[in-house]
Amino acid sequence: MATSSGTTSVAIPGQLLGPASKFQPGPGTHIHNANLYSSLLGVVHASQPAKPPGPAKRLTKITVPTQTPAELPTLSVSRTGVSEKREVLPEVGNTVLCRVTRITPRQAVVAILICGDTVLEAEWQGLIRVQDVRATEKDKVKIYESFRPGDIVRAEVISLGDQANFYLSTARNELGVILATSEAGNNMYPVNWKEYMDPETGLSELRKVAKPY
């Protein structure tokens, strides 16, 4: 586990953080003329390499020299504490929570609301194509038996996609619909891997259900 050192200081864009020979650039920094500069307004974090050399864990100090580049501490500037608003761009491999906005026979269009544990300010559009809904029996998947507009879906980013959409997949057990509303307007609860049930009307509806944690 990477741990951050105790020293926290504020950086503004363009502030010199240290020579590039001694630090690895992390998020919120950039390298110019062999020096590491901040590119964000935020708090500087230095994290030690994952495997500290030597038996004792001394974490409060940024140790430097005679190390291979891979063991250099990483400097990053994070927005935590500056503002609750953080915008991140979804990346391949991220788990996102999104709301279904539109369905067609070939795909479900979703608005990505939360990426990892970051609540997004802007709405990025995502696409769950019919072949990415399930891992098995892909040819039998029907979008309208998997998602409905308004559902909240947990999905994984599999591609940066085209100009407007991120491509998402729900082809794992723990991915799929996590919150659904019935046609009567009530919140439903999952009954099995492909059905949600309305507690008031007792009717069940088909969904690609995410396995509850």
Partner 1 sequence: MAAPSLSFSRPVFAKLSPHPYLLRTLAPQPPSDAAASRTNGRAPQEARPVHIHTSSLSHAHGSALVRTGDTTVICGVRGEVLPVANIPQYRPQATQQQQDDGDERADERGGLGRGELKDYDLLVPNIELATGCAPQFLPGVPPTTLAQTLSTRVYSLLHSCRVVDPKSLRIWYTPPTEVGNNMDTEEQQRQQEEADDGDDGPQLVAYWVLYIDLLFVSLDGNPFDAAWAAVMAALRDTKLPAVRWDPDRQAAVLQNNSQPTTTTATAAAAVPGQGKNSIKTTPLPVAGLPVACTAAVFPEKKHGGESMAASAAATVGNRHWILLDPDRSEETLCGETITMVVDCSSGGGGGETRIKSIEKQGGVVLGRELIRGFAGVAEKRWKEVRDAMQ
Partner 2 sequence: MSDRRRINGPVGATIPPVSEDGASREVAGSRGGRSRPPNAIRKMYLKTGVTPSASGSAYLEIETSGRSGVSGLKLSCTVHGPRSLPRSSPFSPHIILSTHVKYAPFATRQRRGYLRDPSERDLGTHLEAALRGAIIADRWPKSGVDIIVSIIEGDQDRETSKTQGDESWDLMNALSGCITVASAALADAGIDCVDTVAGGVAALVSDKGDASPSIVIDPIPSEHDRILAACCIAYLPTRDEVTNLWFKGDLPASDTELYTKLVEKGIQASAKANRVLVECLGETVG
Site for partner 2, residues 116 to 135, rule: CB under 8 A: 121-125
Site for partner 2, residues 21 to 40, rule: CB under 8 A: 28, 30, 32, 37, 39-40
CB of 26 to partner 2, least distance (A): 13
Rounded Cα distance, 186 and 199, in Å = 8
Residue 186, token pair as written in the block: 């009530």
**Number of helical (H) and strand (E) elements in the chain, helices listed first:** 0, 16
By the rule CB under 8 A, 121 interacts with partner 1: yes
Residue 34, token pair as written in the block: 């062999």
By the rule CB under 8 A, 82 interacts with partner 1: no
Largest Cα–Cα distance in the chain? 70
Rule CB under 8 A: choose which of 2, 7, 10, 104 binds partner 2.
Answer: 10
In the block, which residue shows the tokens 């063991």?
71
By three-state DSSP, how is residue 178 classified? strand
Q: Going edge to edge, which strands form the sheet with 204-206?
A: 189-192, 195-197, 204-206
Give contact residues for partner 2 (rule: CB under 8 A). Answer: 10, 12-16, 28, 30, 32, 37, 39-43, 79, 81-83, 85-87, 89, 121-125, 160, 162-164
Give contact residues for partner 1 (rule: CB under 8 A). Answer: 84, 97, 99, 113-114, 117, 119, 121-122, 152, 178-179, 185-189, 199-200, 212-213
